[in-house]
Structure 1
């Protein structure tokens, strides 16, 4: 659950300010925990049947075809977008680790570091399924906790500088408004686990006496305790120490002690390698199922090798072309993550369970839907504007 989006939270705070920033962080944590609980509950709502894929749940709610058209495009954008963002993050963190270890050495361009990161995923993407990569996933979880702790403790050790400012850093009211919209997406990007939650729950054994929702919900609770332990200190301490001059990746803005900053960036790389595999695995499952079932390709190791290699190459090329960390996160957070994490589970819940109008369940779900739609509408507008402004001075594939 802890994503690399945690590194952009201090930057998001700097564009929202103390009050709105803390409110948005707490609201996002609460809403996404609620919607994740709904998904865990709906996994086995029909006796004797398990909805092991997000789109299967959508099909149950909206019908065979409409459910597929509603859920699958959104889920794919989340998963592909996360892989692209993680490729950018991995490349930048590799570069920062190298520069921290050897400040006098000549360095590669950012594009080459992204290629190096992608090369690691070329190898790991050929694991057959979720269970076969449990060690990679465990290492990623440990790394995410570790570098989050390093991010806020190293920031505290650096201390607040005399010239620190918490004023909005914008040239105009329009700048401040669009930056605020982008920051909403940055926060949303940090809550990305919903798109693979049902696939993960599908790996848990289930019987009528001991349904999978018990251990899955315990896992979710522990995950969200970890999320709070990572996200809130990083966001608040990072903004407190750096103010409006904080970098869009808080670890990139830290310089000392060099060995610790290098280690933290290596931990980020290990984490996003594992995260990339988790999100890519669902895409591989969809692609390979489509190729075998619809296009009648014979299932084989060669088919898996070609499909997965092409996918890693495509995400790498897009990451090299658009390496704008914060704006990319803001766009994806609003456009893709808001539906799957913030309000689509609420719509499905209302459709299936039909709570009484103006009951607590009805009010809570509609509140989440309204906030989620606002997020999906406003955040991509701000992020797209920032990407366009950044691209004016950027030489692509440099």
Structure 2
């Protein structure tokens, strides 16, 4: 008699498991990272270009002026090689366990370091990078809009008075105008739905980079150009060097969204997602090289140590071209903001639905995303120190997630033989990344302090 309940118990248990799995699938189909897996290899190419070639490219000539020719070229080339290697590792690790996909950076971290520790190591760093990028891009978008407005105005003046046809508008308002676009775009559900925005952004990044170095060539080497370090004192030179390392680290920050981008590509045992993903990455890295190296080297060659922290500010003529380049930056940064915001939306929505048991509804998504965009806008308006922010965030969080966390995971999971090529190359990347992480925030913080002395809130 006592055994009759067993089949019922078993079927009840099976039923509850099936119910749980169905609920889990429903949530996964709703979350932005896992809701659509229909991306093609070229989606990977332009998502990666949009994620990587940010406004950071415009500060590379300035970074060169703080590093000097030898160290500058070495750091640029080394960063390109190391980050391509660590990106390859991330692509390989996405599906290293048969039948399982690590769709998010922190899921890979949990597999490498353990459930709890993996979360504690990866999530704070990934959030600092993504939220940090979103804040910096709010500032960049606002300032580029302002530069566009000022350039068009100074060009449209009739020569009377200051030659300006328009009234001066606060940077704060331009940041708000830029943010207004995101209050709309942030409600696109997932990566595939922003692919059009991302493609436009990728094309723009190549366009404004070309304008930046092309206009520099046209302008020609400036009279009395100097390539000596910017600072005159030894401490100044050292801190500038540190800060420039952060600028370079910031320029190579696409790794934070690479697993999430790969999660949108379909995968079967015969055709794993790493094939199309890697093809897209290679195309993206060629575009990165075409954007970064000419801008950094030609910009520095033309202006020397007088180049501004955004090369478009140094280039004042032809006015229509510089105005256009600034508008391209705005369009590019709109796409970049969305690429970096999507994993944050995914984290916020996962916590709300899985931990706090909210129903996965459109209203929940609307409120959560609107609050996030408003938060990044508020911080950007309060602290718009563009250059200092780049090198501070660049070293503090970009270096680990881009330069050495993938290597540590690779060593933890694959355990390559001691002193083998794989072992050595990973340790070289880890040491270089640690060096970046420790030194560049020091330089960035010093720049923020110097700029903050003369800064008025909400000006």
User: TM exceeds 0.5?
Assistant: yes
Partner residue in 2 for 1:24 = 75
TM-aligned CA deviation for residue 153 of structure 1: 0.2
What is the Cα deviation at residue 253 of structure 1?
A: 1.8
TM-score by length of 2: 0.86
In the other structure, the counterpart of 1:3 is: 54
State how 1:27-176 maps to structure 2 within 5 Å: 27-103=78-154, 104=164, 105-176=166-237
Question: SS of 1:319's equivalent?
Answer: helix
Task: Quote the offset at 1:303 in angstroms.
Answer: 1.2
- CA distance in structure 1 between the partners assigned to 2:293 and 2:232 by the alignment: 28
Structure 1 unaligned spans of 5+: none
Task: Name the stretch that deviates more: 322-331 or 265-274.
Answer: 322-331
Q: 1:92 Cα deviation (Å)?
A: 0.8
Do structure 1's residue 218 and structure 2's residue 279 form an aligned pair?
yes
Offset of 1:94 from its aligned partner? 0.4
Work out the CA distance in 1 between the residues paired with 2:387 and 2:248. 10
Q: In structure 2, which of residues 357, 378, 387 is the aligned counterpart of residue 326 of structure 1? A: 387
Q: Secondary structure at the match of 1:157?
A: helix
Secondary structure at the residue paired with 1:251?
A: helix
| Number of equivalences | 398
**TM-score, normalised via structure 1 length:** 0.99
- For 1:362 and 1:252, the matched residues in 2 are separated by 44
Structure number with bigger Rg: 2
Shift of residue 74, structure 1, vs aligned partner: 0.6
Question: What is the root-mean-square deviation of aligned Cα atoms in Å?
Answer: 0.8
Of the three residues 337, 343, 347, the one matched with 1:276 is 337
Deviation track 1:58-102 (CA, whole Å, cap 9, x = no partner) reads 011111111111111111111000001111111111011111111
The residue number in structure 1 matching 2:347 is 286
Deviation of 1:297 (Å) = 1.6
Residue 430 of structure 2 is aligned with which of 369, 377, 389?
Answer: 369
SS at match of 2:314: coil
**Which residue pairs with 2:35 in the alignment?**
none
The C-alpha deviation readout for 1:134-170, integer Å capped at 9, x for no partner, is 1000000000000000000011111111121111111
Q: By how many angstroms is 1:121 displaced?
A: 0.9
Runs of 4+ in 1 over 3 A off after TM superposition: none
Q: Can you list the C-alpha shifts for 1:164-188, whole angstroms capped at 9, x where unaligned?
A: 1111111411111011100000001
